[in-house]
Amino acid sequence: MIKTRSQIHPLLRRRLGNGETTSFWVDNWSPFGNLQDFLGASTSRFGIPSTATVASLYDQDHWLLPPARSENQLAIQVHLTTVTLIDEQDHYEWEVAGKLVLGTALERFLTWLVMHNRCPTRDRLLQWGLEVDPKCLLCNSSNESRNHLFFDCSFGGIVWRSISDWCQLQFTTTWDALIDQLHAVRNRNLRRLTLLAFQGTIYWIWHERNSRLHNQTFKTTDIFISTIDKQLRNRIQSFRHSNTRASSAMSQLWFLRS
């Protein structure tokens, strides 16, 4: 084992948890493996102690890292925007967020990130010291943040108004009020339908945001709403064999409203 540790170490992934016992430099906790090698820390540790734990570099809602001076440092900082340290105080919020997860694996992952405000929105990138335009890519009139994209933005607001009407929700662009509404839905089939629509909307808004940033492609709100509608219909039909009754009930609810 000792002789082959250089080959074995990359295969042993460290579960981060609260980060208090995880070495920032040595443990294999990130997708980049040993950060001493990845960041070339043999000559300089950028002011981060060799004994630093991951938790020691996190304070309240931000990471205590020096400004990025290389592509690898930037990659670490972008990755950390998706990381949340779990402690007992935060456990309830994670548990609540888990109840709002139902869709595909990609939608579930993105929903977790959005629920905990860990997506690399422009306000978060600015907090990391990156020089980016703060304006929202969807409306270009307000600064981009999680709460703005979902759904205070004029583009996102138009989309969510249609989706919330179909799901029998009271339209709101306030994030906290929206989450309270999702928890308040009691009818099982309507709840399933609402969560699928909510996660689908989050996914496609984030997808549209990234398409505009990287590909300079733009969709109108009508095309966007139609895309979500088609996806929801397909998702409902996918339940026909595993849960015929739920598929039928959700189909009636969705078709009656849309």
Q: Provide the 8-state DSSP code for 141.
A: S
From residue 9, alpha-carbon distances to 3, 28, 48 in Å are 11, 7, 22
Find out whether 78 and 84 touch, Cβ atoms under 8 Å: no
Beta carbons of 157 and 178 less than 8 angstroms apart: no
Q: Distance between CA 53 and CA 197 in Å, rounded?
A: 39
Of 80, 115, 131, which residue sits at a domain end?
A: 80
Number of domains in the chain: 2
Task: Note if the bond before 38 is cis, omega within 30 degrees.
Answer: no
Q: Are residues 69 and 100 in the same domain?
A: no
Is residue 127 located within the same domain as residue 70?
A: no
Neighbouring CB atoms inside 10 A of 89's CB total 8
Q: What pairs with residue 159 in β-bridges?
A: none
* Same domain for 94 and 198: yes
Same domain, 116 and 54: no
Left if phi > 0, otherwise alpha if psi is -120 to 50, otherwise beta: which for 248? Answer: alpha
Task: Kindly state the DSSP code that residue 51 receives in the 8-state scheme.
Answer: T
199, 160 Cβ separation under 8 angstroms:
no
Q: Would you state the pLDDT for residue 100?
A: 46
Residues 226 and 137 in one domain: yes
pLDDT, tens digit (0-9, with 9 covering 90-100), for 135-187: 999 999 999 999 999 999 999 999 999 999 988 899 999 988 888 888 888 88
Position 42 scores a pLDDT of: 67
Task: List per-block mean pLDDT (blocks of 10 residues) for the chain, which spans 258 residues.
Answer: 63 74 86 83 76 85 80 81 56 41 70 86 91 94 95 94 91 89 85 88 94 93 92 84 83 78
> Do residue 94 and residue 171 come from a single domain?
yes
Same domain for 143 and 247, yes or no, is yes
Q: Which of 80, 108, 133 is the last residue of a domain?
A: 80
Q: pTM higher than 0.75 for the full model?
A: no
Query: Do 138 and 97 belong to one domain?
Result: yes
Q: Which pLDDT score, from 0 to 100, does residue 9 have?
A: 59
The residue among 24, 57, 80 that closes a domain is 80
Place of tokens 């307000």: 142
Domain containing 236: what range? 89-257
**Is residue 59 domain-shared with residue 98, that is, in the same domain?**
no
Q: Are residues 176 and 136 in the same domain?
A: yes
* 76 shares a domain with 111: no
pLDDT of residue 10: 63
Together in a domain, 228 and 139: yes
End-to-end CA distance of the chain: 61
58: tokens are: 């996190």
